[in-house]
Amino acid sequence: MLVPGNTLLTDTPEEGRALAIMLARKTVAAIQPDADVRQRLRPDYAGNADSLTMAAHAVAVEFATIAAANNYWRERVSNDDQ
């Protein structure tokens, strides 16, 4: 399952961020399903600033999608204020 629970809705931005990281990791696993290959490649990107920046960008894109799906958590916050 690429989207756990089949939803992007989360209660908090913190949960949304954790979901974004999970989705980015699941995307990599879906693209390269061989765990041994991923493990072999890890040292190549783990010490490469450009690779790490690209990984952070992938998480940021996932988080932006989740935030939009959650209406940036504004609706829940404004309802709590009432």
Asked if residue 69 belongs to a domain, the reply is yes
Is 4 within a domain? no
Alpha-carbon dihedral 49, 17, 65, 3, rounded to 10 degrees: 100
Residue with tokens 């041994």: 36
Domain count, the chain: 1
Domain assignment present for residue 1? The answer is no
Burial label, 23 (beta-carbon count in 10 A; 0-12, 13-18, 19+): buried
Query: Does some domain include residue 3?
Result: no
| Structural domain includes residue 5 | no
- Look up the pTM and report it: 0.80
Indicate whether 32 belongs to any domain: yes
CA 62 to chain centre: 5
- Domain membership of residue 67 (yes or no) is yes
CA distances (Å), 6 to each of 10, 23, 32, 38, in order? 12, 12, 22, 25
Q: What tens-digit pLDDT sequence spans the chain (82 residues)?
A: 889 899 999 999 999 999 999 999 999 999 999 999 999 999 999 999 999 999 999 999 999 999 999 997 666 555 666 5
**Segments forming the whole domain that contains residue 57:** 13-77
